Amino acid sequence: MLYPIEKVGLLIAAVIAMAGMGAALTTSDIKANLKKPYGVIIGFICQFGLMPFLAYYLTVWFNLSTAMAIGLILIGSCPGGILSNILTYFAKGNLGLSVTMTAASCFMAIVMMPISAWLYLSPYTSNTFQIPYNNIFIGLAIMLVPLTIGMRVRLRNEAKAKTLEKIGSVFGNLVLFYLIVSWFPKYSHLLVASNSNEIISCACLSFLGFAIAYLIATICRLSVVDRSTVSLETGIQNGNIALIIILIAFKDSALQDKILWALLLYGIFGLVFSAAFAWIFRKMNCKKIESSQLNYER
């Protein structure tokens, strides 16, 4: 189980990471993309339509335990995170679209995550166990406070915003590093106890999120650059939000540990697949940019 000091420390680190994320969001990029919101709308459908449904489908298909199912569905219902912006930049994607999707999804999460929880977590309620919807909402509300503060800092002082962005990035990485380094020795029994279905379902949610979002963006005739952006934004979920909700909403230590284990498993596969897809998209986008430049010169 997580000790109280660990819970407080992780919660503080996640909140600081969310403030850093808010400081990274530029209003000029957001306004420009909202004027032509087609890509944002496609991303919204993938983020809050595809991912929660995909997570629920995987829990049913692989017959996951209640705790693993709750964890996977919560992760699938989360908005995008700042990592998607970083990898979009690396992949030569549409950074403005990525930033707009991240900002829009984070604020829409206050409405869409409770809806997704009600739709997909209802089958896991019983007379002895109820999903704490009120606590989930409280967790989301808490998440919006540092995000909004970070955005206000960006508006008032760009130099301070860049500093806050770096600090937030460090704390976000610390959360993941701590979970991996401290949890594997402490909770190795959970890895041994995890069946192949639990591991495969976490891997599938990450991989299929990237792949299906790219397919949807292709069908909707987005540009090659925008397809990769939508894919990265959809496949990379905001683990800090999931962590805040899990720590606040679920008080039972044994249940909380198992739900957090789903988050950690997903995070490991998410890092691997996000890096792989970003590298593939970088190759594709570089070729597209070079081709466009040659055609322009002609």
Enumerate helices (H) and strands (E) in the chain, giving the number of each. Answer: 14, 0
243-288 confidence digits (pLDDT tens): 778 877 777 777 777 888 888 888 888 888 988 998 999 888 887 7
User: What's the structural domain count of the chain?
Assistant: 1
**What is the pLDDT, as a whole number, of residue 136?**
64
User: Is 131 a residue whose pLDDT tops 90?
Assistant: no
Q: Which residues contact 276 (CB under 8 A, 6 or more apart)?
A: none
Alpha carbon distance 194, 68 (integer Å): 10
The stretch 179-191 carries a mean pLDDT of: 60
**How does residue 183 score in pLDDT terms, banded at 50, 70 and 90?**
low
Domain that holds residue 138: 4-297
Give me the phi and psi of 102, to 5 degrees please: -60, -50
CATH number of the domain at 56, please: 1.20.1530.20
**How does residue 296 score in pLDDT terms, banded at 50, 70 and 90?**
very low
| Angle of helix 253-297 versus helix 66-77 axis, rounded to 10 | 30
The stretch 122-146 carries a mean pLDDT of: 67
**How does residue 171 score in pLDDT terms, banded at 50, 70 and 90?**
confident
User: Is 121 a residue whose pLDDT tops 90?
Assistant: no
What is residue 237's three-state secondary structure? strand
Which has the closest alpha carbon to 240: 5, 12, 2?
12
18-36 confidence digits (pLDDT tens): 777 677 766 666 677 777 7
